[in-house]
Amino acid sequence: MRRKLVVGNWKMHGDIQSNQTLLEGITNGVRELSNADYVVCVPNPYLFQARELLKNTNVAWGGQNVNQHEQGAFTGAVAPHMLTDLGCTYVLLGHSERRSLFYETNLTASARFEAAIKAGLTPILCVGETQAERDAGLTEVIVASQMDAVMATLDEHEFALAMRLNMVFAYEPVWAIGSGKTASPDHAQTVHHFIRNRIAKRNAEAATKVRIIYGGSLKAKNAEDMFAMTDIDGGLVGGASLLLDEFVSICKVAN
Ligand code: PEP
């Protein structure tokens, strides 16, 4: 049985004061919830604050992206070891906003995945189709290309390392992100099953262990039906992760 995982993606929101209220509220709200894992991915400037407020709690913290280079003249970029220096254990990669607004590709997501695991970070690779791709019947083609790019990048040693770090995949249909249009549990289950099969092509045992979480307008009211599906191991939560009661309620469902 895979432990459920709930990850909050704050995106570019927050300030010192409101972060403190939210983080203290989350730690209080999930303290007794010991049957699932909880993570918040905060903007980089607030990782220091996350470390101060979340150390010795059952809430982990992570970055929303990372660069593939270890150091150098890459203005504005953040290296994997900088995230681990700040106590991050997770990092989001290939989020659709990074792909659509910042020109990131399967190639950059794969290189970053590789760099993240080498630094000891648990990668959460986001995959998912746009509305147009869905309408054209291309969901599986797109998701397969996003998955296969990473699988092809990892050699045997790296794949084993990614497994030891409990790599995570997040199915996030782009049309569901921030739109209020959640995928139906049946649609999400079908794609999660497809993703698991894709991993099984590489390593059947690994596929049974990998957590695949759903993201896209997830709220407390739809989390129960989603999390009940066989291949849905939790959620990646954007908007609702900024709402204390909603986020804690989703964590309770996962627990
Ligand atoms: C996200 O950005 O990862 C996300 C799932 O956003 P939302 O929950 O707001 O749709």
pLDDT in tens, the chain (255 residues): 899 999 999 999 999 999 999 999 999 999 999 999 999 999 999 999 999 999 999 999 999 999 999 999 999 999 999 999 999 999 999 999 999 999 999 999 999 999 999 999 999 999 999 999 999 999 999 999 999 999 999 999 999 999 999 999 999 999 999 999 999 999 999 999 999 999 999 999 999 999 999 999 999 999 999 999 999 999 999 999 999 999 999 999 999
Q: Which amino acid is at 156?
A: E
CA-to-CA separations, 128 to 125, 141, 143, in angstroms, rounded: 10, 10, 6
The model carries a pTM of: 0.98
Question: Which residues neighbour 127 within 8 Å (Cβ) at sequence distance 6 or greater?
Answer: 94, 142, 143, 146, 147, 169, 170, 171, 172, 195
Report the nearest atom of ligand 1 relative to the CA of 172: 5
Specify the pLDDT at position 226.
98
Which residue is catalytic, options 129, 172, 192, 246?
172
Rounded Cα distance, 173 and 181, in Å: 10
95 is known as an active-site residue:
yes
Ligand 1 centroid to Cα of residue 153, in Å, is 27
11 CA distance to ligand 1 middle (Å):
9
What pLDDT sits at residue 214?
A: 98
What pLDDT is attached to residue 133? 98
Whether 172 sits among the annotated catalytic residues: the reply is: yes
State the distance from the centre of ligand 1 to the C-alpha of 162, rounded, in angstroms: 24
